[in-house]
Amino acid sequence: MSRSIIETHRVFFSWIFALAVFALLLLGDSIWRNDFPVIAGLMFFAGAILVGLAVIGRLWCALHISGYKTYQLVATGPYSMSRNPLYFFSFLGVIGLGLASGSLLVTAIMVAFFALYYAPLIKQEQKRLLEMHGEPYREYLSRTPAFWPKLSLLNEPEEYTVQPRIFRRSMGEAVWFVIFLGVFQMIGVLHDQSVLPNLFRLF
C-alpha cells in the first residue's frame, strides 16, 4: 500500500500550520497575560508540564521504535499500551504549547488541527501496517487501544536493542517542543514590551 499525501508530507503540513500559528501570535496578544496574569501564569505552568511529558514520552517511544518502524511490529513499552503513543504524546505537547501561548483560542485551533489531520493519518497507517504484518497486527489491534494509553497493559522487556543513530535523530525531533515553548514565551515578552504589534486580542 503506497503512502498517501498526508503521510508523505506530514512534517511539511505541520510546519505550515505552525507558521500560521506563529503569525497569529506575532500580531495579536493574549487577554489573559494582560488582564489576568495569574491565570496566564497557571496556563504557562500547565503547558510546560504537558510539553515536558510530551518530550519524555516521545523519547520513550523513539527508544522502542527507532530502527524498527514499519519493518517490525513493535508492541513493547508505550506501544504495549497504545497503538499510537507517539501521536498521543505529541497531542499532549500540542495542548501544552497552546496553553503556553496564553490563548485558549489558539489552544483550541491547535487541538482541532491535530484531530482533523492526524485522525485520518492514523487510519491510513493502520491499513498499511495490517497489510504488512497480517495476523500478528490484527491480534495487536484487538488488544491494544488505538490512541489513549491503557496503563495496565504496559509490558517492557528487561533488555532492548536500540539503534543510536536513529534514536539521536528522534531526540532532535522531540526537542522542537521545548524550542517552541521558549519561542512562545519570548513572543509574549515582546508584546509586553510593545516590540510586536497588538492588532487584536486573543482570548
> What is the per-residue pLDDT across 138-177, written as a single tens digit (0 to 9) for each?
999 999 999 999 999 999 988 888 888 888 888 888 899 9
- Check: pTM over 0.85? Answer yes or no: yes
Structural domain boundaries in the chain: 5-197
Per-residue confidence (pLDDT) for residue 86, from 0 to 100: 94
> What is the per-residue pLDDT across 57-68, written as a single tens digit (0 to 9) for each?
999 999 998 877
| pLDDT score of 7 more than 90 | no
Q: What is the DSSP string of the chain?
A: -PPPHHHHTHHHHHHHHHHHHHHHHHHEEEHHHHH-HHHHHHHHHHHHHHHHHHHHHHHHHHHHHTTTTTTS---SBGGGT-S-HHHHHHHHHHHHHHHHTT-HHHHHHHHHHHHHHHHHHHHHHHHHHHHHH-HHHHHHHHHS-SSS--GGG-B--S-----HHHHHHHHHHHTHHHHHHHHHHHHHHHHHTTSS---EEE-
Per-residue confidence (pLDDT) for residue 2, from 0 to 100: 54
Over range 9-33, report the average pLDDT. Answer: 87
